[in-house]
């Protein structure tokens, strides 16, 4: 494959997996050769299982890769970098949750996250260019804590304003800015 080959875009969903009207699903349909980490049939809350699923997809790709992660998918990518080595051209890390503080009711507790390997959240610089895109009113993360995480990772932070958790519940099925940010990473 030539060094100018277009990167494969790998979608890394959060713990709620695949939602048909989610911006990641819409974006994947628009990008030629996009791949999505498949939903887990067991061990869905296991960080190790999520990291393995991501690594399986990445291991199947021989050329350049750009990763597009949302929510807990961002944390999957951060944990993956601690365990695996593979060249990544760049990553769009959208709406990372703050696993260091209690999440709203209906989401995993800190104890469940710890038991399943999500805590502590890796804070080492990521070994590839990355953009953390987050809103100021995300119910799963305080913007200042996300900004601190972006600094720790060496990521460029993009303040999206009032976008909630950047998911269909926040009004984001389609998110055109995602395409712009992915093009920037490619």
Contact (Cβ atoms closer than 8 angstroms) between residue 101 and residue 118: no
Q: Which helix (H) or strand (E) holds 55?
A: helix 47-59
- pTM reported for the whole predicted model: 0.95
Q: For position 17, what pLDDT does the model report?
A: 62
Q: Is 11 exposed, middle or buried (0-12, 13-18, 19+ CB in 10 A)?
A: buried
Q: Pull the structure tokens for residue 24.
A: 């990641």
Q: For position 2, what pLDDT does the model report?
A: 43
All residues at 6 or more sequence positions from 5 whose CB lies less than 8 Å from its CB, including other chains:
63, 64
Full pLDDT tens readout for the chain, 186 residues: 445 578 999 999 998 767 788 999 999 999 988 999 998 888 889 999 999 999 999 999 999 999 999 999 999 999 999 999 999 999 999 999 999 899 999 999 999 999 999 999 999 999 999 999 999 999 999 999 999 999 999 999 999 999 999 999 898 888 989 999 999 998
């Amino acid at each position: 494959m030539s060094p100018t080959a277009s990167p494969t875009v790998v979608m890394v969903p959060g713990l709620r997996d695949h939602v048909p009207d989610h911006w990641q699903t819409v974006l994947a349909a628009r990008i030629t050769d996009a791949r999505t980490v498949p939903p887990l049939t067991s061990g869905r809350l296991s960080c190790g299982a999520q990291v393995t699923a991501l690594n399986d997809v990445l291991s199947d790709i021989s050329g350049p890769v750009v990763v597009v992660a949302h929510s807990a998918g961002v944390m999957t990518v951060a944990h993956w970098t601690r365990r695996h080595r593979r060249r990544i051209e760049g990553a769009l890390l959208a709406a990372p949750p703050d696993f260091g503080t209690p999440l709203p009711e209906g989401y995993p507790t800190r104890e469940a996250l710890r038991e399943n390997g999500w805590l502590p959240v890796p804070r080492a610089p990521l070994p590839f260019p990355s953009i953390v895109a987050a809103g100021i009113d995300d119910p799963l993360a305080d913007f200042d804590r996300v900004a601190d995480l972006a600094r720790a990772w060496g990521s460029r932070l993009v303040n999206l304003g009032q976008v909630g958790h950047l998911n269909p519940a926040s009004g984001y099925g389609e998110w055109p800015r995602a395409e712009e940010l992915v093009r920037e990473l490619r």
